[in-house]
Structure 1
Amino acid sequence: MRVRGNDYRSIRPAEDFTPELRVSVIIPAYGGQHQLDLVLAGLARQTYPADLTEVIVVDNGSTPALRLPADRPPHTRLVRCETPGRGNARNAGLAEAGGEVIHWLDSDVVPTAGAVMAHMRWHHAAPYLAVTGYLRFSEAPLPDKLPDDLEAHFEPAEPHAWIVRLIERTNGLTDTFDRPFSLHVGGATSVNARLIEAAGPMDGELVLGQDTEMGYRLMQAGAVFVPEPEAVAYHLGPTMRMRHQERIDRVSYAFVGDRVPAYRWLRRHPGRQWKIPYLEVLVDGTAGYDTVRATVDALLAGTAHDLRVVVVGPWDTLDRDRRAPLQDPNLELVLVQGHYAFEPRVRLATSHHVDPAVPYVLRLPPGWAPGEDTVAALLERARTDGLGLLNVLLDETPGGVVAARLEHAASFARARLLAGPGEDLDDVVDEVSGVAWAAGESYGFATEQPEPQGRRSAYRVRLKAKAEAERLGKEAERLRGEVARWRDEAGKWRKSAVEYRREIAALRKEVAGLRRDLAAAERRQRTLRAALSARVRRALRK
């Protein structure tokens, strides 16, 4: 079954399956003997066959030393790890594990009877899954021994709110392309051992955030992440994160940002370099100094800062001719090596091997220079469309098509897990994520050929054009300021005009009133004159 993205719904685990896979449950522990006793008692009641289950408890330097209680699964053993840290303890247990599935379990998490079976049902359906159960946090008092009815004792309990919100806003984790690994929590997650072998063990240098960082590398190895609501387990009391979330996040983010490129919001500083870059660009360094430089310098000048350029060539075989450097047959390689030897974002490598933890790989033919925003636009297209491969057509020659390839490393890792003998890997990538083609011109690619001696190089022309663009940008900003000033001035005049109109309207109203008063006075005057005339006429008659 080939899952597209993280849409695991295409996998239909059978309810009635014959258990065949061996599971290794690894429990790191530091103190908390009574809690550990309850956890082991819970594991002893699992419906998954005991002969296919081994439990490895790792005592991470407890004083007094931990012991195994009588109520425990039959294949349980205790090992000791003196190196502090939960990641180191898990690695010590991992070194002892022999199961096809690794089940991480914390020493204060009691699984319900069907929890392991619910995990293993998925692992029997597909060999590249990371399954996480549903934790419930109970503040019920610890019993002397594990009760038969866990729900009756530990409920009411609070769900793992962060996990629930993540699942709800991503349609059950099926709508997230680059961050499904956030589901990987060490308290109740099972992983195919083959994936862990590909991803590598826990990072022992991390104090916090080990689960997230491990989940990220599992995704890079091709994992599909599955939430399983039937795999319920009770956490005995609140976690340290629940009590001190802001303080823990502050510590965790300081280290995780360097190791998890998918957390883009932790990498907002445009000038920073990180342990694991978001993009690695492979360029053939044997194409000639001017050609290689045109491509590499254009990459370094772009707006996609979180990248590393790997220039591939036989650097370990170079032997400079210091007496007659101009006659050195390896002069072009020597110039490339000398030009980038101390550039921190350029690595001179002897092979095309890429760091499996890097999310994206761009394979770019030398002599082709991306525009300032080209790489950023390609990355956004690949991420937004959920593409495993974005081919960029650069040229068509009699010898064939010249193209750049932007590869999503996790999609290719998944494809390698699934590809059959002789099957084209790109075709499998198309099934598990998607493949698209784009025109190089539409993304700003240009061919950069060396200029004849005495003429300015195309790179210098680009620098001058960039400087001119910056100058024009500043001039445009100045003109925008002028326009804004005139708009403000016009606004003031408009305001004055409105006030004048109001005054004129008031005056007109006053004049109209005066006219009305005058007309009334004239009417009264005519009436008085008529009355006076009548009185005069009457007086004369007498």
Structure 2
Amino acid sequence: MDARPALRQNDYSPVTPPELGAWSPALPVSVVIPAHGGRHLELTLAALAAQTYPAHLMEVLVVDDGSEPPITLPELRPLRTRLIRVETGWGISNAVNTGANAADGEIVQRLDADMVPCREHIEALARWHHVTDYLVTIGMKKFVEPPEVTARQVSLARHLGELFDLDAAVPSSTEATIARTDGLRASRNPYHVCTGPTFALRRDVFHAAGGLDPNVLRGEDTEFAYRLAMHGVVFVPDPAAQAVHLGLPAQHLDRERAVRAVEPYLAHRVPLRRDLRKERGRRWLVPYVEIVLDVAGATQEQVRAAVSAALDGSLQDVAVTLVGPWSRLGDGRRSVLGDPAFELRFMRDLFAHDERVRLIDEEAPTPAPAPFRYRGPVDVPLHRVTLERMIETVQKDLTGVLVVDLPGAGAEPRTARLERTSALGRAVLLAGAGGDLDAVIETTHGIRRESPEHYWPPAPAPASSKPAASPAPAASPGPAQASGGRPGSATAATPAQPGGPTVPDGRAAAAPATGTGARTPERTLLRRLKSALRPD
């Protein structure tokens, strides 16, 4: 295998797989087939027995997911076929994980028990994994009514058209998406088409992404593919990997209920499905954005202001991570008021029971499965529109990282960053330990730099009932005014006056005043904090 190529977005064009039938495979493949009942299993195994992939490099694991009566293997099957019975749990995800955990092959091929693959199916998908190791290859499928064919006929057929009326077959909707997006090269979310019946990936990638979620009983393949995307993989559909699915999909039998059954699983676990998260005020299992703030050396006033701003923005689908030396705080006897770690302990106890705030000593390499991570100085609170506008910017062209330059003194530049998890995941795969992640992201997804005005818009000029003697100078834009404005329902910027500054929620808000007695947001916040701490 050559060195890993730094593929751009989901464009796998630089990768050239070997030609079918004109190469020598070397990697062992484990075909994992979850089965409950296995009504058509003998046809699936017969097709696998006739594969062009070398028999000594292919094992088949049939995972019996609580069938009654238990599954027995037919006589016509691949030479290296094992029957594994699920001991604990149930469902497709649990069965696939059981098979993958028992697999010996370096490539895991997932296949349904009612699929009949063409003779080249395993070879077509496995060949890509001989070139590089962070791909997920996807097979094609059509739906047919089960015909009266025998396992022997399946094993002898050279083409699927000899067995099935492919002209009358129901095409998969994923194939239309693949064709419309140049084979997923131009797809914005290619994980959508990586559905369960047939896909292949390296075994270590399967486990690194966490395997399938056994708590997801419908849509488990899409949820797993989403996590694979966050891991940084590239999705490759191969038209040569044809197969038929015996029977119509569940959506054709009861579409309304099939769609409803999937919704709660994907709504909680796939934040990119914004259409499933329209209800305001809800809390979801996986947040859309993780906001990471390093609190080392920060005052409790700064931390409280930063957390409050983060949780009170127009984008509510967030979680806050406070990075600090929390593990150093023991729970033994101590002087409560004379504790040397009083400030740090105060902050820990202040946020310990807020379900949207977590305390960690060191942030993870990526925020997976959350699709975005924000990192910025704790003393520059987010404006309520910052995150929405940053995400809007990176979503235009799927930029990997957006860097906003912040004003500040000193030689060290101050920046805020919005990072795309899938770009970070790929950079971690390609750069290795200690590698330059940003250099990789620049190649695979791009890095964009912007000034702060759009993301921390200036506060509006103060409203006045009396004519002003002379125009007041416009407030200088920048993050220092991040806490200006009040929460509202709209997010689009609306001009406060012709040529003047904008108000993010379209309502009047006080601009920072000048002169004696001016009440800036920072001073107002400080007064509130002092008042809250003053004894009665």
TM score, norm. by length of structure 2: 0.80
1:236 corresponds to 2:246: yes
1:117-146 C-alpha deviation (Å, 9 max, x unpaired)? 111121112211111111011114231334
Shift of residue 403 of structure 1?
1.2
Find the residue that maps to 2:82 and give its secondary structure. strand
User: Which range moves more in the overlay, 318-327 or 110-119?
Assistant: 318-327
Higher helix proportion: 1
With over 3 angstroms needed to count, the CA separation of the structure-2 counterparts of 1:445 and 1:367, relative to structure 1, is: farther
Find the residue that maps to 1:369 and give its secondary structure. coil
Shift of residue 367 of structure 1?
0.2
Which structure 2 segments of 5+ residues have no match?
459-478, 491-495, 497-502, 509-536
CA distance in 2, matches of 1:196, 1:323: 47
1:383 corresponds to 2:389: no
Q: How does 1:402-417 map to 2 (within 5 A)?
A: 402-417=414-429
2:29 aligns to what?
23
2:17 aligns to what?
13
1:257 corresponds to 2:267: yes
1:270 corresponds to 2:280: yes
2:7 to 3, 10, 18: 3
1:280 corresponds to 2:290: yes
CA distance in 1, matches of 2:433, 2:90: 45
1:89 to 95, 102, 126: 95
Residues 301 and 372, structure 1, Cα contact 8 Å, conserved in 2: yes
2:363 aligns to what?
352
1:220 aligns to what?
230
With over 3 angstroms needed to count, the CA separation of the structure-2 counterparts of 1:161 and 1:110, relative to structure 1, is: closer
2:144 aligns to what?
138
Find the residue that maps to 2:275 and give its secondary structure. helix
Shift of residue 189 of structure 1?
0.9
CA distance in 2, matches of 1:462, 1:327: 35
AA aligned opposite 2:270: V
Shift of residue 370 of structure 1?
1.8
Find the residue that maps to 1:92 and give its secondary structure. helix
Find the residue that maps to 1:272 and give its secondary structure. coil
1:13-69 C-alpha deviation (Å, 9 max, x unpaired)? 121332111110000111134x11111110010001111101000111112211112
1:202 corresponds to 2:199: no
Shift of residue 325 of structure 1?
5.2
1:343 to 338, 343, 354: 354
Shift of residue 254 of structure 1?
1.4
Shift of residue 468 of structure 1?
11
Find the residue that maps to 1:329 and give its secondary structure. coil
CA distance in 1, matches of 2:61, 2:453: 58
Residues 367 and 373, structure 2, Cα contact 8 Å, conserved in 1: no
Shift of residue 375 of structure 1?
1.0
1:168 corresponds to 2:179: yes
Residues 284 and 292, structure 1, Cα contact 8 Å, conserved in 2: no
1:444 corresponds to 2:450: no
Residues 140 and 243, structure 2, Cα contact 8 Å, conserved in 1: yes
Residues 195 and 222, structure 1, Cα contact 8 Å, conserved in 2: no
2:49 aligns to what?
44
Q: CA RMSD in A?
A: 2.8
Residues 143 and 172, structure 2, Cα contact 8 Å, conserved in 1: no
User: Which range moves more in the overlay, 349-358 or 385-394?
Assistant: 349-358
> Aligned pair count?
462
1:376-418 C-alpha deviation (Å, 9 max, x unpaired)? 1111111222111111211354331111221111111112222
User: Which range moves more in the overlay, 42-51 or 345-354?
Assistant: 345-354
CA distance in 2, matches of 1:73, 1:468: 63
CA distance in 1, matches of 2:484, 2:413: 32
1:331 to 336, 342, 349: 342
1:128 corresponds to 2:134: yes
Residues 394 and 441, structure 1, Cα contact 8 Å, conserved in 2: no
Residues 394 and 402, structure 1, Cα contact 8 Å, conserved in 2: yes
1:425 aligns to what?
437
1:184 aligns to what?
194
Find the residue that maps to 1:334 and give its secondary structure. helix
With over 3 angstroms needed to count, the CA separation of the structure-2 counterparts of 1:419 and 1:27, relative to structure 1, is: same
Shift of residue 11 of structure 1?
1.4
With over 3 angstroms needed to count, the CA separation of the structure-2 counterparts of 1:288 and 1:66, relative to structure 1, is: same
With over 3 angstroms needed to count, the CA separation of the structure-2 counterparts of 1:320 and 1:332, relative to structure 1, is: farther
With over 3 angstroms needed to count, the CA separation of the structure-2 counterparts of 1:61 and 1:321, relative to structure 1, is: closer
Residues 100 and 203, structure 2, Cα contact 8 Å, conserved in 1: no
Residues 281 and 308, structure 1, Cα contact 8 Å, conserved in 2: yes
Shift of residue 438 of structure 1?
1.4
Residues 191 and 235, structure 2, Cα contact 8 Å, conserved in 1: yes
With over 3 angstroms needed to count, the CA separation of the structure-2 counterparts of 1:88 and 1:477, relative to structure 1, is: closer
Find the residue that maps to 1:66 and give its secondary structure. coil
TM score, norm. by length of structure 1: 0.79
With over 3 angstroms needed to count, the CA separation of the structure-2 counterparts of 1:151 and 1:440, relative to structure 1, is: same
AA aligned opposite 1:302: G
CA distance in 2, matches of 1:50, 1:321: 63
With over 3 angstroms needed to count, the CA separation of the structure-2 counterparts of 1:187 and 1:166, relative to structure 1, is: same
CA distance in 1, matches of 2:197, 2:337: 63
Shift of residue 347 of structure 1?
1.4
CA distance in 1, matches of 2:228, 2:483: 42
1:466 corresponds to 2:466: no
1:189-208 C-alpha deviation (Å, 9 max, x unpaired)? 11122211210111111111
Shift of residue 462 of structure 1?
7.7
Find the residue that maps to 1:57 and give its secondary structure. strand
With over 3 angstroms needed to count, the CA separation of the structure-2 counterparts of 1:64 and 1:322, relative to structure 1, is: closer
CA distance in 1, matches of 2:61, 2:412: 57
Shift of residue 421 of structure 1?
7.3
Residues 309 and 483, structure 2, Cα contact 8 Å, conserved in 1: no
User: Which range moves more in the overlay, 372-381 or 13-22?
Assistant: 13-22
Which structure 1 segments of 5+ residues have no match?
447-458, 479-542
CA distance in 1, matches of 2:111, 2:68: 21
Shift of residue 321 of structure 1?
11
1:211 corresponds to 2:216: no
Percent identity at matched positions?
37
Residues 10 and 184, structure 2, Cα contact 8 Å, conserved in 1: yes
Q: How does 1:147-158 map to 2 (within 5 A)?
A: 147=153, 148-149=156-157, 150-156=160-166, 157-158=168-169
CA distance in 1, matches of 2:205, 2:507: 53
CA distance in 1, matches of 2:66, 2:281: 42
User: Which range moves more in the overlay, 246-255 or 341-350?
Assistant: 341-350
Find the residue that maps to 2:13 and give its secondary structure. helix
2:329 aligns to what?
318
2:302 to 268, 291, 294: 291
